Amino acid sequence: METARKIDHEKQGTRRWKKVAWLTAGIIMILVAAAFIFVNVYINRSLPETSGEVKLDGLNAPVQVTRDEAGVPHLEAANERDLFMAQGFVQAQDRLFQMELARRQASGRLSEVVGESTLEQDRYFRTLGLRRAAEKSLSLYSDEALESLEAFADGVNAFIEENPLPPEFAMMGIDPEPWEPIDSLTIGKYMAFDLGGHWERQAFNYHLLQEFPEEEAYELFPTYPENAPTVLSDAAPVDIEKSLSDAVLPHEFNGSNNWVVSGDRTESGAPMLADDPHLGMATPSIWYQMDLQAPGYQVSGVIFAGVPGIILGHNDDIAWGVTNVGPDVQQLYMEKRNPDNHNEFLYEDEWEEADVINETIQVKDSDPVEMEVLETRHGPVISEFAEKSGEETVLSLRWTALDPTTELEAVLEMNRASNWQEFEQGLEKFLAPAQNFVFASKDGTIAYKANGRIPIYDQPDDALLPLRGWEAEDEWNGFIPFDELPEVVNPEAGFVATANNKITSEDYPYHISHNWAQPYRYQRIEEMLGENDSITPDDFQAMQMDVKNLQAEEFLNFMIAQVNEDKTKLEKESIALMKEWNFEDDRDLAQPLIFHRWMGILQDELYDEEISEEMRSFFEGSGQTTDELLRKVRKGEESLWVEKAGGIKALMTHSFKSTIAEISEEFGDDPTAWTWGDYHAVEFTHPLSSIGFLERFLNAGEPSPVSGSRVTVRAAGFKSDGLVNHGASWRFVIDMENTEEAYHVVGPGQSGHFRSEWYHDQLDDWVEGSYHLTKTEGFEGEELTLAPE
């Protein structure tokens, strides 16, 4: 009996515990559900309002904002001040977190919100002084341009003050400071930084001459110098690897394609223009597409988030696009330091006091870091931002973008231009970065100009190496006069195209650059333009998606011919496959995978044993240099670097065998089953996606296989793991017969909010080559009214 009662008691206890357990589980589930609902409500409440009415203190009259099916905001205002205020508000709706990171990165203030991991990056940007250069530029702007900047800032601040912030701010635990006009200009200076100017190649060339025999060093120079440099023997050496290995370098392949054809070459009889700037691929896009309309101001296209106006696009009368010129606008100077005064440097036999700038970097969860920046007559001393490495000699940087410049003033004038003369007048104020502008007008004019402040070198070879900071004769000799910059108007050929290729002939009187992109994209564009005299917008779109690999067409047969006969079955199958290739970098083909991996391993075998990984990152244009070495050997000439690698046959054979071994280990032993897309894929990663579980929310999912490469018109640069991180950040095509519409792709989408329908909606379009048509009249979409308080 007692046993039965005990059992019954235990059963009752078990039932009670089960009830408690179920109750607890139920409570937990309710709490989880409540938390989930709260998080969703919190996140969703920060989605932009795209319909109804929003009061905006500071407006003079209502502004209509219509977002079309691609999420492109069309702004219609009664006056320009209201237009730019509304532009700031709308950009903040979609891209505020991106704007916050952009101004922090350019200003050297990321460590405040990230911590010690970005400290060296901040030190570098504090040393460069992009924000200091923006502050100096502000004084050059007209009252009208300043009013536009201030109105834009007012719009951004109106959003910050009255609206829920995007969820990334909570993730980072920060609140944005008020937006200022200087923030917009600083972002503009950062774009000049991103498009570079070759100081790193000067540093690399200097390193070569320190580490290798002269002939070996010169063979890797972009141009073989006629006169030996004197700077090396005139100053104590600077250890480039130690001094600059932590420097932040722009992406080597930042560039673009653009072309314009006359009405004689088009089906419509009007000029047509195409542009696709090649920059980093990320979420959100570097570009933000907008359509701006007010009395006397109508323009449609793209702009960097955080900047007013439209930098690339069209209005009712004209259209324009750019590629990077890539001129030598950055010059390293060796500076001799006074042994008795750390802040003095020699110039013309006298000691000059450098400017001393004290910077304090706030670091999240750590103590502030104090640093001292020295600026000589040439610019900031960049060889000491990481550590003291030159007691006797340091390196300073002279760079046109650190001068006061007026790019936004130029943009606003270009936006209003109605013909080539007015547009060119605006270009005179666009100083940095130097860009290849192509232009089309409804009046039938097509034109091209390599624009920007480009220094004059008395001797072109001077731009190959650091110069003597203590000699006046080594100073730049002014800048190329605006009217003498390379220019073409209505060429006889009926078209103009650029792809970061060499833009001047041998008789051009000024030096532009030693560092040009490999010529394959330009050659392919020219080839395609020459095939058609009745061009349509569809043809231009197909050209932008073209994946013909002219580098492989030039070198593949030569490379195969050098591989030894002693091949495995797999290697023979791979060679046979390569001989069948149509030279297209198609994601479904095996051949581009073999070719690009082979070229990469070949370069590694040429340089890795001799040049450290840190210095390889300074070897800007290494692909162009490698092509030249192969051309030398193919012509029967000797290459010292190829011989050091064992000769051309040993180099080609070993690199090919290594390539096939690597690919088979990753993708199996059947070459017919390999594809370029298995390796070469795009993801558009968000800057916060590396934080734990956030990847599943902020990124689009599995990377998408994609065609193209670094050398095709459809640019798709990739990292060592195959992930595409560089390419056409925006694609644009317009037929001037009807300037009320144009074709666009903004990968991966317009919005920076991961819950928005326009967050990744253009990712597949970017991969597949689909375009959306943007109209400036007769468009439909969600309507929001921004009304005065």
**Any idea which residues carry the catalytic annotation?**
256
Phi/psi at 518 (nearest 5 deg)?
Answer: -55, 145
Residue type, 686: H
CA distance 265 to 733: 15
349 annotated to a ligand binding site: no
Whether the CB-CB separation of 728 and 721 falls below 8 Å is answered with: no
Q: Which of the 8 DSSP states describes residue 361?
A: E
CA distance 780 to 69: 8
Gap between the terminal Cα atoms of the chain: 83
SS3 384: coil
User: Could you give the C-alpha distances from 12 to 138, 437, 447, in angstroms and in order?
Assistant: 80, 85, 91
CA 153-686-108 angle, to 5 degrees, is 50
DSSP β-ladder status, 73-76 and 287-294? parallel
Buried b (16+ CB within 10 A) or exposed e, 323-356: bbbbbbbbbbbbbbbeeeeeebbbbeeeebebee
CA distance 21 to 17: 6
The DSSP annotation for 548-596 comes to B-HHHHHHHHHHHHHS-S---HHHHHHHHHHHT--SB--TT-SHHHHHH
682 token code pair: 């795009």
| Residue 732 CA neighbour count, 13 Å, CB half | 32
Residues 6+ apart with CB under 8 A from 513: 198, 325, 326, 327, 328, 463, 502
**Other beta carbons less than 10 A from residue 697's beta carbon:** 13
| Residue 753 CA neighbour count, 13 Å, CB half | 24
Whether the CB-CB separation of 161 and 94 falls below 8 Å is answered with: no
The DSSP annotation for 408-473 comes to HHHHHHHHH--SHHHHHHHHTT--SS-EEEEEEETTS-EEEEEES--BPPSSGGGGGS-EETT-GG
CA distance 313 to 732: 8
SS3 266: strand
CA distance 555 to 79: 58
CA 674 to the chain's CA centroid = 30
Longest Cα separation, the chain: 116
CA distance 767 to 728: 11
Binding residues: 328
Residue set of the binding site for Ca(2+): 328
